[in-house]
Structure 1
Amino acid sequence: MNQVLGVIGSPISHSLSPVMHEAAYEELQLNCSYHAFHVESTQLKSAVEGVRSLGLKGINVTIPHKVDVIQYLDHIDPLAEEIGAVNTIVNDQGVLKGYNTDGDGYVYALLQRIGKTLHDKRILIVGAGGAAKGVALCLSKYGVKKMTITNRTSSKAEDLAVICSRYSDTDYLSLEMAQAELAEFDIIINTTSIGMAPNFDQMPLSLENLRKGAFVSDLIYNPYKTKLLIEAENKGSGIMNGVDMFVHQGALAFKKWFNKEAPVQIMKNSVIKHLGGSI
């Protein structure tokens, strides 16, 4: 019998999750299908109940439901509870279990890309929203040398820094101070939506003081290269767009659903091809 999985969100037509997961099912010859479901906030409760009553194997959850969906689940993984958001639901014989694979997916992607440990790295996180929280928490739990949070609203950066300081040396800076001290950081990570299509000409901060050899990462993957990444690359920096995080969080979700390793490279190739990038 065909097993049905999917992703819920609003809007959802832009999602590349079906492209990515269907490629994995085809590669492993799994009798599964993955669909994008447009779900408004007023429909969230009934949509989650539908996962249970219709016997869907699991779903991903995206904007704007990652926080509100928690109240409708039977069990929340401790990491997802600490982050305060769920992006993956497993239907375990009618028991709905919520997980968050975003942060761990990002850390794994970063380690794969830089090819070394992060324990000696000084990292600047730009942004303090939901995406930043998952990434920052998982980086701090991994154990980095020093992490700094910067955000247009400094109070939000401070709040996130306090949470992460439980696990690693973390502080916060105003955006102006972070730009002035940019040369102090080994890795800069943009977690904001600044630079996302159609605002191709925007950047979350200036790279004027970027030090030689620094690595710049952007969670955005549309455009394939944001202005931030183009400028960083022009300065000789290594770069990573949001495709790697997107793929690895999806691979972690796949493993929770099927208890087997996902074909990561196949999934990544499908996304890059769809985006018109170079494999």
Structure 2
Amino acid sequence: MEIGTHTRLLGVMGHPVAHSKSPLMHNRALESQKLPYTYLAFDVRPEELPQAVNGMRALGARGWNVTIPHKVAIMALLDEVNDEARRIGAVNTVVNDGGKLIGMNTDGAGYLRSLEVETGLRLEEQRVLILGAGGAARGVAYALAQSGVQSVVIANRTVAKAEQLRSLLQHLTDVKAVPLAEIEKWIDDRTLIVNTTSVGMHPHVEETPIPGELLPEGAIVSDLIYNPMKTTLLRQAEGRGCVIHNGFGMFVHQGALAYEQWTGVQPPLDVMRQAVST
């Protein structure tokens, strides 16, 4: 599709976003369905987020994705946040509905679809350890707790932030908030370990959120990062006989859910996967 006066704007806001494959994935999907949109990446520093949101509104953008570090801060800048995103306390998708900016969250649903399909695990049997307590952690943790997992431990450098997330989940399952520095006390009995932080993401690919030797043998280790596909954490987990799961499937599924909200069209999942699998 050629860009013209009929073309509407979609995109992703984050800082940084140079690593993002969202433009490639969405533009391939849009081209395959001949839809009149184009999707761009916007590197927005935290202090410039209000201006960026106002700019997207003024330009009549149909919507955009929200990634690190804006998923929580953007909520106060929108006209409306749907019930699920408000309960989670984070937004990863914005839809412009006739000038009204509505915040949503497709992270949790996208993550669960990917996790179940790719690992075959039974969610109700899992004892979960979540590394991090930011916007991505909120969506994933809420979805896991709501799915009926046995228990959740949230480990974060700032315990107060982990406590905020614990309070969100406490009516759904047994949940504890602990300092990341004390992870050794809580990791041994965990069957599903989920890294929701950006530690290990391109270009800092040698970094890892926790020492690999702490990973329980045979656990499922899931990293929301998809660039690189196999982070240092996942390589270390593989070496300890763990089942590994990266963020690729979640990335595709959460993006597909957002795509459907913007376009009203069923997304071409195979095209989206193929676009970002190389």
Q: Which amino acid aligns with 1:253?
A: A
Residue 168 of structure 1: how far off its partner (Å): 1.3
My pick for the range that moved more, 262-271 or 135-144, is: 262-271
Counterpart in 2 of 1:276?
none
Consecutive unaligned residues of structure 2, counting only runs of 5 or more, are 1-5
Matched, 1:184 2:189: yes
My pick for the range that moved more, 96-105 or 49-58, is: 49-58
Counterpart in 2 of 1:78?
83
Consecutive unaligned residues of structure 1, counting only runs of 5 or more, are 274-279
**1:19·1:271 contact (CA, 8 Å) conserved in 2?**
yes
Q: Percent identical across equivalent pairs? A: 47
Q: Which amino acid aligns with 2:190?
A: F
> TM (normalized to structure 1)?
0.87
**1:56·1:91 contact (CA, 8 Å) conserved in 2?**
yes
Counterpart in 2 of 1:117?
122
Counterpart-to-counterpart distance in 2, 1:35 and 1:266: 18
**1:127·1:192 contact (CA, 8 Å) conserved in 2?**
yes
**1:129·1:192 contact (CA, 8 Å) conserved in 2?**
yes
> TM (normalized to structure 2)?
0.87
Counterpart in 1 of 2:133?
128
- Map residues 59-98 of structure 1 onto 2, 5 A cutoff: 59-98=64-103
Counterpart-to-counterpart distance in 2, 1:197 and 1:95: 35
Residue 176 of structure 1: how far off its partner (Å): 5.7
Counterpart-to-counterpart distance in 2, 1:58 and 1:224: 27
Q: In 2 relative to 1, CA 95–86 (structure 1 residues): closer, same or farther, beyond 3 Å?
A: same
Residue 41 of structure 1: how far off its partner (Å): 4.3
Q: Deviations over 1:24-75 (max 9, x none)?
A: 1122222321112344445433433333333322111233333332233221
**1:140·1:164 contact (CA, 8 Å) conserved in 2?**
yes
Q: 2:202 aligns with which of 197, 201, 206?
A: 197
Q: In 2 relative to 1, CA 39–129 (structure 1 residues): closer, same or farther, beyond 3 Å?
A: closer
- Map residues 215-226 of structure 1 onto 2, 5 A cutoff: 215-226=220-231
Counterpart-to-counterpart distance in 2, 1:90 and 1:15: 20
Q: Which amino acid aligns with 1:149?
A: I
Q: Deviations over 1:92-116 (max 9, x none)?
A: 1222111122222222221221224
